Amino acid sequence: MEYNHQGITKNWKLLVEGEKQGLYTCFNLFYDDLYRFGMSLYRNPELVKESIQNLFIELWQIRDKLIHVQNIQQYVFTVYKRIMYKTYQKELHKDPGKVVHLEDLNEQYVSVHSYEAILIASQEDEHLKKRLEHALNKLTPRQKEIVQLRYFECLSFKEISHKTELTERTVYNTLHNAVNVLRDSLLSILILMILGEL
């Protein structure tokens, strides 16, 4: 993903200050990547578009709390994943007969991004949280620490590196290995989420 970091920082500041132009510009700067990412998780254009709209409505509503956000991109995508999951659950309640067939699943569904969605969703679902905790118990203490910092505290690789005194490459590799350990356990949870059974 290529970002206009200067443009994002400038317009995020305007958004925080209550300038609607900042909100509109941030919407335009993020839209394409948010759409692609949303489609990689749910492959439902209407759900993805609605989630993007809901994301920016929420950002506008909580703008006075955004002043201390340091990693804007990470924050936006973390909130977006939570909103997508909520929107998806609402759609399932509206249409309980909606089923995604297993043969429709492709590699995009089982990407690291999909596992991130599980980690975000688990913060709002106790049953899912217990299953995730069981999966996390398979990790080493260091792997568990980095998963916690990355997905639950939403720290960047640079921030994790500083906090753990590891190189960014080591942080990345450790996280990658942790996801591989979790893959089998989380895959079963992911499929159940997609089928609406969690």
pTM: 0.49
Q: What is the CA radius of gyration of the chain?
A: 17
C-alpha separations of 100 from 49, 93, 131 in Å? 19, 15, 22
Contacts for 181-188: CB closer than 8 Å, 24+ residues apart: 181/138, 181/139, 181/143, 182/115, 182/135, 182/136, 182/138, 182/139, 183/110, 183/115, 185/131, 185/134, 185/135, 185/138, 186/115, 186/118, 186/132, 186/135, 187/110
User: CA-CA distance, 180 to 190, in Å (whole number)?
Assistant: 14
**Residue of higher predicted confidence among 182 and 57:** 57
Which residues are within 8 A (CB) of 128 and not within 5 positions of it... i.e. 6 or more apart? 118, 121, 122, 189, 193, 198
pLDDT category, 173, cuts 50, 70, 90?
confident
CA distance 170 to 142: 11
Looking at every residue in the chain, the average pLDDT score rounds to 75
What pLDDT sits at residue 101?
A: 36
pLDDT digits (tens, 9 = 90+) for 1-53: 445 677 888 999 999 999 988 888 898 888 888 888 888 777 788 888 889 98
Are residues 103 and 27 in contact, defined by beta-carbon separation less than 8 angstroms?
A: no
Full DSSP string of 87-108: HHHHHHHH-TT----GGG--GG
Does the pLDDT value for residue 135 go beyond 80?
no
From CA 70, how far away is CA 66, in angstroms rounded? Answer: 9
39's tokens: 């489609």
CA distance 194 to 198: 8
Helical H segments across 71-167, by residue range: 72-94, 112-121, 126-136, 141-147, 157-164
For residue 59, the model assigns a pLDDT of: 92
